[in-house]
Amino acid sequence: MYSSPPPTPFFNIADITLWTLDPMLKKRDDFEDMLEERRNSSDLRYALKCYTPVLYKGLTPCKVSELKQMVLQSDQLGYVITQVSKEKGVTSDEVTGEAAAILEEMAQRLQLSTVRFFAFTLSKVFKTLFRSICINEEGLQRLQQAIHNHPVVLLPSHRSYMDFLLMSYILYTYDLALPVIAAGMDFMGMKVVGEMLRMSGAFFIRRSFGGDKLYWAVFSEYVKIMLKNGYAPVEFFLEGTRSRTAKSLTPKLGLLNIVMDPFLKGEVFDISLVPVSISYERTLEEALYARELLGVPKPKESTSGLFKARKILSEDYGSIHVYFGQPVSVRSLAESRVNRSQFNLIPRHIPTRPSEEILSFVNDSAYRLVRAQEENMVLKPWVLLAFVLLQKQAAEEKQGTALDELTEQAVWLRDLSRQYGAFLHWPDHIPPSEVVSSSLSLHRGLVRISEGRAVVILSCASYRNQALNVFIRPALLASAIHTAASNRKQEIYNSFSFLRNMFSNEFILCPGATVQDFEEACYLLVKTGTLQINQQEVLITERGHRTLAFLTSVLDPFLQGYQVVCRFLCEQDGLTEKQFIPAVRKFIIKHLLTGRLRYTEVLSSDLQKNALAALIRLGAVQKIKGNNYCFNVFPSEARNRGL
């Protein structure tokens, strides 16, 4: 697939509607600090304030218990219950009982009193932890309008446990309808807290229920009924889980599929999907994530664990930026993409597997939404510093960096990232050197990089990762130019296409959009004077070398990481899935110690897993299902493909 030639002539910069590509022209709203008012007025009065949100215009108000009844009496569930009772040879009453139990375990019990309790305590906590929580209020106005007009799905990015409490807190503060939130079952382990979360609108779903028809039916019907009736905005995380690396994760499609279904089947006129970008200057889980990536197991969620985490309260976590993006109408996404009449010939309550057409539509939509999240992520100066520091560390400049030099490089990178459309929050009224030093002081725990400790490096990498999406396409192009045998455009495209395909588990690169991505990268690099592109050739300009060098080194850790995983696999004659991570980790440590590998961050299990998944996808490694899961490696193939 990666070698297929692009449609000819595959780019003609003048023809592309420039403003869609030009990130500089992106309009973004201003932020307001919502904590400011909290610091100046009574939290108690705030928690007890009159709360009268705007609701969906078609809403027929109903109680939590009625909602459950509607699910249990729905045709959809009824159909599956009959089916399951026939298959298992039990009475349908029993199956219904089972369904009711599932629903009981799952359902939220949103209660305003609990929300008020959270509003009070979270105010206290947030004020201690954070300097500010900045919101784009225009986004909230758009959201309010959207809630009034159509059922709404909130899609926040997921970097921290805080995310969904924070979301509800914001919506409560701004008098918006409180969402119901799809949460992983692991929270239920925390007894009191689990119930509290339930009462603040969380509903719990099992992490895996692959073959369980009944569970799936109850779950999907529950979500759809809440959505269709406009009961509350439905909130879930497209990425499925918290990203430990601060890179966006490949979107999960299950829930998105469910929430789009009512529109596709004509049960509602439209649905608004609202991407929300939450960026933390410092995540609470910073060190935790890094340890997890290095193989220190994640502590089980428990109430007592939460109390132990109290010490977090004494630290400074900077600010949070929450950006409510433009609502995306499912109707307009589906326009001229999906033929909705495909659902005309089967009663809509009979569950059917989504067609290829629908799956690819949902997949593309998911990528679009994740990109919309990425685009509105606020980047702090520290993120840029992380780039500089990590690249220096890898270049083994052990003696530390002079502040002046660091500042110069940061300012250069600031300008570059702005040209690429990054949503950078760099205080322009303060001298750059002060910006740099104050960033360093907030993250002082990470700064003494010269020690080279893996945890610190991975934490640092996770900050750098926040801005990877800004550079990824130009970086792929830069690496493609670097590896291509000539400067012929076609050749560079081929190598771009290969790299892009290779890394599509690692970064958010929408399947099938190679040509668009290539055009976008070319456009950015030409616009910033790095490249000159004519009909046949790609030429590097005089001043373009610095940029290209930087961009190549952005991708370098990943390239080397994938290479080392390949090398590791080539030396194996099959191993089980379980063995893979520990074995590859050992292998990498050996290489790091001997100095054959420069990038400590390759130790990240996330990268290792992604590399393996990519190799399996590309057919270089085969997964054999048997008694023990083995990987059959075709080394020659792996080498053929340039690794």
Site for other proteins, rule CB under 8 A:
266-267, 269-270, 339-341, 343-344, 347-348
* Least spacing, CB of residue 349 vs other proteins, in Å: 8
| Min dist. Cβ of residue 19 to other proteins (A) | 21
| Mode of pairing for the β-strands spanning 132-135 and 152-156 | unpaired
Q: Which residue, 208 or 341, has its beta carbon nearer to other proteins?
A: 341
Return d(Cα 225, Cα 205) in angstroms, integer: 16
In terms of CB distance, is 328 or 603 closer to other proteins?
328
Amino acid at residue number 299: P
Cβ-based nearer residue to other proteins, 269 or 578: 269
Task: Tell the smallest beta-carbon distance from residue 401 to other proteins (Å).
Answer: 56
Residue whose CB is less far from other proteins, 41 or 355: 355
Residue nearer to other proteins on the CB measure, 69 or 241: 69
Least distance between other proteins and beta carbon 328 (Å): 16
List for the chain the helix, strand, coil content (%; round to 5).
Answer: 55, 10, 35
* Integer Cα distance of 103 and 365 in angstroms: 29
Q: Which CB atom, from 77 or from 377, has the smaller least distance to other proteins?
A: 77
DSSP tag of 622: E
169 contacts: CB under 8 Å, gap ≥ 6: 118, 119, 122, 126
Taking the least distance from each CB to other proteins, the nearer of 270 and 301 is: 270
Q: Which one, 334 or 524, has the nearer CB to other proteins?
A: 334
- Pick the closer one to other proteins by CB: 343 or 634: 343
Closest distance of CB 331 from other proteins, Å: 9
Q: Smallest distance from the beta carbon of 270 to other proteins, in angstroms?
A: 8
Secondary structure of residue 176 in the 3-state scheme? strand
> What is the closest distance, in whole angstroms, from the C-beta atom of residue 255 to other proteins in the complex?
22
* Contact present, 80 and 213 (Cβ < 8 Å): yes
> 252 φ, ψ to 5°?
-90, 140
Contact at 8 Å (CB) between 601 and 610? no
**Least distance (Å) from other proteins to the CB of residue 341?**
5
Q: Are 390 and 604 in contact (CB under 8 A)?
A: no
Task: For residues 290 and 604, give the distance between their C-alpha atoms in angstroms, rounded to a whole number.
Answer: 8
Closest approach of other proteins to the CB of residue 361, in Å: 14
Q: Which residue has the tokens 């053929």?
A: 640
155 phi, psi to nearest 5 deg: -125, 80
Give the residue from 220, 251, 232, 223 showing the smallest Cα distance to 158.
Answer: 251
How much is the CA Rg of the chain, to the nearest whole Å? 25
Phi, psi of 531 (to 5 degrees): -125, 160
CB atoms within 10 A of CB 247: 23
